[in-house]
Amino acid sequence: MDIINEIKKLKKENEAIILAHYYVNDELQEIADYVGDSFYLSKIAATTNAKQIIFAGVKFMGESAKILNYDKRVFLLDENATCAMAHMATVKRILEMKSKYENLAVVCYINSTMELKKYSDVCVTSANAIKIVSKLPNKNIFFIPDQNLGNYVKEQVKDKNIIVNDGFCPIHHEVKLDSVRKLKKQFPLAIVLAHPECKREILEEADFIGSTSMIIDAVNNYDNDEFIVLTENGVLYELRNKYPNKQFYEVREQMVCVDMKKNTIEKLYDVLVNETNEVKISIEDRNLALKPLEEMLRYAK
C-alpha cells in the first residue's frame, strides 16, 4: 500500500483538511494542506468549510481548533501529544492575581490548556504577543504560562505592569549558552535567529528574535548565507525548502520537542480510516474558552 496516496484519497472522501505545525516531522509538513504557526493555523481552523480538521500538532492546538469552529469534527494524530509548558500555570494563581490587582488582564499564551484559557481575558501567540499586550486597555497584566516570552514582552512594552508566571518550554529553556557561543565561533558570519521562549542570556546572543513564522520571514532580510536557528528543529524543513541556497545550523544538543514528534504519517492514516482521537469539549467549556481566542483574533487584526 502506498500510504501517501491512500491518505490523499481518504482526505478527499472525508472532506478533511490537514493542518501541520512547523515543529512536526517533515513528511507531515509535506502532505499537509496548511503548514504554519499556531496563530496562522488557528485562523484557518476558525474559517474552514471542511467537515473534518486533522491537526498534526499538540493537544492545545486541536482544542483551539475545536473551540474556534465547534461544529467541525477535529482530530489529533496522537492524544498524548501535549505541550509541557501548557500545564505550567494554575487557575488558583490566576484567581489570586485577579483579587490582588485591579484592572488586571490575564494574557494567556496559546500554548496553554483549555482550563487556563477559560480563566483568561485574551490569548496571544509568539507572533502577536507584543502587539496585543500593547493594545490592551489594562495597566496590570498577568502573563501565563511562559516566563521567557513574558519577560521578553515586558521588556518591549514598558508602559504596563506585567507580572510573569514561572512556566517554561523545556526545549527552548534548556539551550546552553556555551553551545550557542561555540556555534557562533565556528560560523562567525552566521546570523542568529532565536525564539522568545529561549532564556534571556540566549536572546542576548541573537540578531533576530521572533516566532517561527517571523524567523522564516526574517531570513529574507539578510544577505548572509548562514544562519543559526534557535527554535525546535522541525522549522528547518521549511527554512531549507524556502531558502535552498542558505545554510542553517542547529545547536549541538538539538532542539527536539518529543510531543511534536509523536505525530507520524502512520497515525495520520489511522485517524483518517478509524476516526480516532476526536477532540471532545463540552459546550460550557467551549463558550468560556472561546472568548480569549476571539479576543486574540480581534486584537491581532
Report the alpha-carbon distance of residue 186 to residue 206 in Å, rounded: 15
Cβ proximity to ligand CIZ: between 187 and 208 the closer is: 208
In angstroms, what is the minimal distance from the CB of 92 to ligand CIZ?
A: 25
* 277 near ligand CIZ, judged by CB under 6 A: no
* 229 near ligand SF4, judged by CB under 6 A: no
What is the DSSP track for 141-197?
A: EEEESBHHHHHHHHHH-TTSEEEE--B--HHHHT--HHHHHHHHHHSTTPEEEE-TT
In angstroms, what is the minimal distance from the CB of 81 to ligand CIZ?
A: 13
Residues 43-62 interacting with ligand SF4 (rule: CB under 6 A) = 58
* 37 near ligand SF4, judged by CB under 6 A: no
In angstroms, what is the minimal distance from the CB of 28 to ligand SF4?
A: 15
Residues 9-68 interacting with ligand CIZ (rule: CB under 6 A) = 21, 37-39
In angstroms, what is the minimal distance from the CB of 230 to ligand SF4?
A: 12
CB 248 within 8 A of CB 229: yes
Binds 138: which of ligand SF4, ligand CIZ, none (CB < 5-8 Å by kind): none
* 126 near ligand CIZ, judged by CB under 6 A: yes
In angstroms, what is the minimal distance from the CB of 71 to ligand SF4?
A: 27
Q: Which of 37, 78, 232, 295 binds ligand SF4 (CB under 6 A)?
A: 232
Question: For the chain, give me the number of helices (H) and strands (E)?
Answer: 15, 12
* Side-chain half-sphere CA neighbours of 279 within 13 A: 34
Binds 78: which of ligand SF4, ligand CIZ, none (CB < 5-8 Å by kind): none
Q: Site map for ligand CIZ, 202-221, x if CB under 6 A?
A: ---------xxx--------
Q: What dihedral do alpha carbons 282, 261, 57, 222 form, nearest 10°?
A: 150
- Name 168's Cβ contacts closer than 8 Å, sequence gap at least 6: 85, 88, 146, 147, 148, 197
In angstroms, what is the minimal distance from the CB of 136 to ligand CIZ?
A: 19
What is the DSSP track for 51-72?
A: SEEEEES-HHHHHHHHHHTTTS
* 113 near ligand CIZ, judged by CB under 6 A: no
Q: Which of 257, 279, 289, 296 binds ligand SF4 (CB under 6 A)?
A: 257
- H/E stretch holding 27 reads helix 26-31
Tell which residue, 22, 72, 80, 11, has the closest CA to residue 45: 72
* 128 near ligand CIZ, judged by CB under 6 A: no
15-31 as b/e: b if 16+ CB within 10 A: ebbbbbbbbbbebbbeb
Backbone region of residue 176 per phi and psi (left: phi > 0; alpha: psi in -120 to 50; beta: other values) = beta
* 112 near ligand CIZ, judged by CB under 6 A: no
In angstroms, what is the minimal distance from the CB of 8 to ligand CIZ?
A: 25
Binds 295: which of ligand SF4, ligand CIZ, none (CB < 5-8 Å by kind): none
Residues that bind ligand SF4 (CB under 6 A): 23, 58, 83-85, 111, 169-171, 197, 232, 257, 259-260
Residues that bind ligand CIZ (CB under 6 A): 21, 37-39, 111, 125-126, 195, 211-213
